[in-house]
Amino acid sequence: MKRREAIRNIILASASTIFITSCADKNVIEFLKEGNLQLNDRHKDYLHKISDSFLPLGELKDKVGNPVDFIMTMINDCHSAEEAQTFAEGFEQYKALMEESRLKIKSAKEEEIIPIVQKVLEAKEAPKEALVFFINKTKGLSIQNLMSSEYYMTEYLDYSLIPKESFNGCSPA
């Protein structure tokens, strides 16, 4: 993975969710049981805000399914136990990064937020693989949730289960 792209993704996610309240009550890794991640409502709300920062749906929220349900289903059913563990570790690192950034910018103006987050990230040695995995998975699965929704398929792609009348299945190739 390109380092600049990873840092850009982290900065994007950090800047947009900097003022979200943290989930300080439990570690995300404690919700991982037998390779399945079962988050509580507080962590699901936090994950929803993170997903919304990557892909703000605005008025389409009612027409597209809940991204957190989709993300959790995909992580639990389509990924290995090791990847679910990496996702949980990345989520925990993301929460820690947000907490550290929030402490440094309590009195900062809006235009100073991104430089402060960049300094926090540069102070760390390098982006950790679990954090980058978490951000990329959350972003990718949020987009996949939108693109596989009924609304997107029927309204945007003009998808139809039954071929239109103009379709000729017996035409010579």
Q: DSSP per residue over 103-122, as a string?
A: HHSTT--GGGHHHHHHHHHH
Q: What's the rounded mean pLDDT across residues 42-71? A: 87
**Burial per residue of 136-167, b for 16 or more beta-carbon CB atoms within 10 angstroms, e otherwise:** ebbbebbeebbeebeebeeeeeeeeeeeeeee
pLDDT for res 21: 46
Q: Looking at residue 130, what is its pLDDT?
A: 86
pTM (2 decimals)? 0.69
**For 13-50, what is each residue's pLDDT tens digit?**
665 555 444 444 567 777 777 778 888 889 889 899 88
pLDDT digits (tens, 9 = 90+) for 77-125: 999 989 999 999 988 888 887 777 666 656 556 666 667 667 766 666 6
